[in-house]
Structure 1
Amino acid sequence: MIRLFVPHPLKAGAGVAPTIDQSRYLTAVMRLSVGDEILVFNGQDGEWRCSLAEAGKRGCVLKAEEQTRPQAYGPDLDLVIAMVKRGRVETIVEKAAELGARRVRLTQTRRTNVDFVKLGRLDAIAIEAAEQTGRLDVPAVDDPQKLDKILDSWDPARRLVFCDEGGDARPMIEALAETGPPAAILIGPEGGFAPEERERLRSLPFVIPVSLGPRILRADTAAIAAMTLWQAAAGDWR
């Protein structure tokens, strides 16, 4: 059944107005008619079965019939990712949503060579991935911040898994016993972390340096590999 994310309260009998694009998708692409049903979620009120109550040129209206699943969230995992080229960062956001991350935090490092992202586009990608995967929430995508600023305000209760290309860190699979939620994974830029960034990260008590193997991985591959390992060992894949 079709699933849509809507930023509206959901309760029995509530009317829900999808966006114009969503309305066009339901009526012109999927050819739904009045009375047909879809699933709707808003990240707060669980998932609801809704019927198409009205359909017209200016949009459509859904009616919430019954809750099909109560609100639930996956494990508390953040992904902190240095900004990379547009196509790769879009892939990272999509896969972070599919793999259950609660939040994607974009960061600027010494060697980051990208200084602009379209957050609206990334939000749309996260929403579409959440709709397709069946999750009941949508990961937030934060405005880019300098790595130093992120580390200065870090909550030490959240362990930061630092994917270190230096070659002398423990394999990630061995370190995962220490990284249950809340946790975060840090992936660097295409040029790697600068020596002073690596030195600071390794000096912080909440940081766990790990290795993702003998090969240098691109940022999108590293993010997918690290999130997969974490979910399998410490997340909701167990």
Structure 2
Amino acid sequence: MPRSHAQLPRLFVAADLADSVDLTLDKDQSLYLAAVLRKTIGDEVILFNGRDGAWLCRLSRDSKKSVVLSVVERIAPQTRATDFWYGFAPLKSERLDYVVQKAVEMGAGIIQPVYTQYTQVNRLKPERLRANAIEAAEQCEVLSVPQIAEDISLDRLIDGWAAEHGDRVLVFADESAPSATPVQTLGELAGRRIGLLVGPEGGFSETERQKLGALPYVIPISLGPRILRADTAAVAAMAIIQATIGDWR
């Protein structure tokens, strides 16, 4: 995206984007632009919808209840969604928001909550997860908003893995694994479809760990000699995967 557009507000919309189209924003987005950012007629905004790339738009009518934007030109082509699956045991409140936002920033293409034995949260609001994913995409110039998959138990995930994911390898952050660099282990997976599973605070139970370890498509990795919080472990694991076999190379 051109540097001259880097400071413009970015908004995700559901509508199709094309040349010479006028779009009326919903109430919340209109309020955000008109009342919070104090944008007025003639000011520019960038819109994206996850399908049509990024588009430069200009306010043609402003009101706190209804802002109309005129599409000017496409400034970035649509990027492909990644095939990187990220599963995580739901955490509480702000830390839940954090892991979803960081997964978007780190290039996850599919995000799925996975309930484990020690998971402390047993109910989620999918719309909140989606909102956090969209917000992260808006802030970080991500054009492909990840899919938020339906929450699932670890047992159901494992039982249906082959049918749902085919030959995808499942890497799981195992705090009980021998402390060693995971670089060599991950390097051997280059070119494979990858999934990452990070457990809750307290980690996986011994039963879960044994069940995962017995599966041929599961690869346990250590994240070093220190005990990491679940949200820290998630970012660390995604970073090492992207750096060794992902799209950072």
TM range (shorter): over 0.9
**Letter in structure 2 aligned against 1:161:** V
Moved over 6 A (4+): none
Aligned to 1:18: 25
Alignment partners' CA distance in 1, 2:227 and 2:190? 23
Aligned to 1:233: 244
Q: 1:158 to 1:184 in 2, by over 3 A?
A: same
Aligned to 1:219: 230
Superposition pairs of residues 1-238 of structure 1, within 5 angstroms: 1-73=8-80, 75-154=82-161, 155-168=165-178, 171-177=181-187, 178-180=189-191, 182-238=193-249
Alignment partners' CA distance in 1, 2:241 and 2:89? 19
**Letter in structure 1 aligned against 2:195:** A
Q: What secondary structure, in the 3-state scheme, does the structure 1 residue paired with 2:235 have?
A: helix
RMSD over aligned Cα atoms: 1.7
Alignment partners' CA distance in 2, 1:153 and 1:188? 19
Alignment partners' CA distance in 2, 1:190 and 1:217? 9
Q: What secondary structure, in the 3-state scheme, does the structure 2 residue paired with 1:171 have?
A: coil
| Segment drifting more, 39-48 vs 141-150 | 141-150
Alignment partners' CA distance in 1, 2:74 and 2:182? 40
Unaligned residue ranges in structure 2 (runs of 5+): 1-7
TM superposition score normalised by structure 1: 0.93
Aligned residues with identical type, % of pairs: 45
Alignment partners' CA distance in 2, 1:62 and 1:215? 50
- For 1:114-147, what per-residue CA distance to the aligned partner results, in whole angstroms no more than 9, with x for missing partners? 1012222222111111011111011222332111
Number of aligned residue pairs: 238
Greater strand content: 1
Shift of 1:227: 0.7
Unaligned residue ranges in structure 1 (runs of 5+): none
Alignment partners' CA distance in 1, 2:64 and 2:118? 49
Q: 1:108 to 1:48 in 2, by over 3 A?
A: same
8 Å contact kept, 1:156–1:206: no
- For 1:82-125, what per-residue CA distance to the aligned partner results, in whole angstroms no more than 9, with x for missing partners? 12222211110111111111121101112222101222222211
Alignment partners' CA distance in 2, 1:5 and 1:156? 32
Q: What secondary structure, in the 3-state scheme, does the structure 2 residue paired with 1:59 have?
A: coil
